[in-house]
A = this chain, B = another copy of it.
């Protein structure tokens, strides 16, 4: 596979993804359409195993391991949806997952990965040190170290975009939350290959704008990271996804965390889904650009549902 995956790679990922999961629902929630004043569908990636879109990427990547890599298994550093995706894919493929996290990482998230059979190793005081350490460990043991924006992950994730266009070929706008950028790149690669008129709009929190700023200025810029939406919390931009985004993205907007919180509650009330901050960011974006989407068939990616009860309590 090239550094930048193409739609052929997404087609090739389909059997690997659908061996272990089904297509996710694309639902037109009347309450949300009424609120936004246009026809809106929600792509429920929160209904996937592990509760997030990332699982598709893990499943595709794990299907292409060499025999040496299978013996030592997958290595990564994450307590979030990426880590769970790697743990889940490893379990399904009968290989070991080793996930490094900093000392004091969220015990609930550590437990989720352990429940999926992953070995969780505590090392260092932040993710940078955990990641560097586990990458070396993978190298020593001949395992496969996985970063969050690898081409095989993007190709796997692209299967949700194919599902959207197959069931709603008349879609005009797709709004995608951006963390590391694998979701928005996968969506843009698929949509622009099949129908370049489909507008792809990324959204990030104004409290963590590194990816948006880098896209806008066309250079790699770090930025402050204060958002409570873990899936959008990128401090250092990713180069390969930035390259794809510069080619294919129609717009990239910022929304305040406060609007994401409001969107989270509106989604729970109107769709009865538990949604995490990143998963609600597409709704927040739609709320902030109602005149632009009016009259256009719009899909919001609900990228994940892994909200904690503590955060939910605070929100309510």
Contacts and interface: CB of A to CB of B under 8 A. Distances in A.
Interface of A: 22-23, 25, 27, 30-31, 34, 44, 46-47, 49, 51, 108, 111-112, 115-117, 265, 268-269, 271-274, 276, 305-309, 312-313, 316
Contacts of A309: 265, 268-269, 316
Residue among A23, A30, A47 having the largest count of chain B Cβ atoms under 10 Å: A30
A272 B305 contact: yes
A309 to B, nearest CB: 6
Contacts of A25: 22, 47, 49
A47 B51 CA distance: 12
Most B Cβ at <10 Å: residue of A268, A276, A306: A268
- Tallying the copies of this chain within the complex gives 2
Contacts of A47: 25, 44, 47
A155 B117 CA distance: 39
Contacts of A51: 271-272
Given A274-B272, A313-B316, A27 B46 contact: no
29 contacts: A22-B22, A22-B23, A25-B47, A25-B49, A27-B49, A30-B115, A30-B116, A30-B117, A31-B112, A31-B115, A46-B272, A47-B47, A51-B272, A265-B309, A268-B309, A269-B308, A272-B274, A272-B276, A272-B305, A272-B306, A272-B307, A273-B273, A273-B274, A273-B305, A274-B274, A312-B312, A312-B316, A313-B316, A316-B316
Contacts of A308: 269
A64 B51 CA distance: 37
Contacts of A276: 272
A306 B268 CA distance: 9
Nearest to A314: B316
A25 B306 CA distance: 17
